[in-house]
Amino acid sequence: MYEDLIQYLEKRYKKKYTALEVEHLADSILIENNPAELVAPTPIVKIVSDFGFKAFKIENLGEDISGNIYIGGTTEKVFHHDKVIVVQAKEELYHQRFIIAHELGHYLLDYIGNPTFEDPKKLFSKTYIKAEHESFEDILADKFAAELLMPSRLFLQKYINIMDYSRNNIVFTVTYLSVFFEVKKEKIIKRIAEINECIEYIDNKQRFYDDVLEGKCRYTSNLIEINE
């Protein structure tokens, strides 16, 4: 399973990913996992298992660490498996799901095709820290995890429906979506903010073009004519 995707990523390594490409990557996994329809909650443990991982809960990861991914090196000796994702047992179940999805993102974006780890003796490891994620790699892994667990098309549909049903009760909506997608409320709120930013951008563009058509403002093209 996912052989074509892995081959594509092997060729793609070292080329920078955009946020949109990362979301498309997550969507392609969801489609291959269930071609018939988008479902929630995403079966994240099954998906990482399909990629050859075992997921474990561990009590003593450290105060500032919520999870980790290990491939190669001494992984087989320690865990009796060569590809492992571990999560802090004390974390909420919903957050454990996000951590697993985040670490899978590191595997797909940072490990596959990386010549450094062609030698199985070399250990690949990425740590999920509790502090705000600031590195480019972690931001992309977060973006991947968000789309994998809260696919934008399904999320937007549910968000609109529940806001309408609850008469714009945002507290009810966030709680409902958190349970529906099995994701922490903080991640739901962030996802809603991203959607609202997109909607606001589209609305602003539409208002601008309406004003242009009504003669309220002037439109200046940024196209440059090419003269041969």
> Mind listing the pLDDT tens digit for each residue in 27-54?
999 999 998 888 899 999 999 999 999 9
Whether residues 186 and 129 share a domain: the answer is no
Q: Look at residue 228 and tell me whether its pLDDT is greater than 60.
A: no
**171 within 8 A of 123, measured Cβ to Cβ:** no
Could you give the CA distance from residue 202 to residue 215 in angstroms, rounded to a whole number?
20
Whether residues 138 and 164 share a domain: the answer is no
Whether residues 144 and 38 share a domain: the answer is yes
Query: Residue 143, Cα to own-chain centre: how many angstroms?
Result: 4
For residue 130, the model assigns a pLDDT of 83
Per the structure, the complete domain to which residue 196 belongs is given by 155-213
**44 within 8 A of 97, measured Cβ to Cβ:** yes
For the full predicted model, state whether its pTM sits above 0.85. Answer: yes
Structural domain count, the chain: 2
Whether residues 118 and 204 share a domain: the answer is no
Considering the chain, what percentage of its residues have pLDDT values greater than 70? 91
Q: Is residue 51 part of a domain?
A: yes
- Residue 178 banded pLDDT, cuts 50, 70, 90: very high
For residue 166, the model assigns a pLDDT of 94
**169 within 8 A of 138, measured Cβ to Cβ:** no
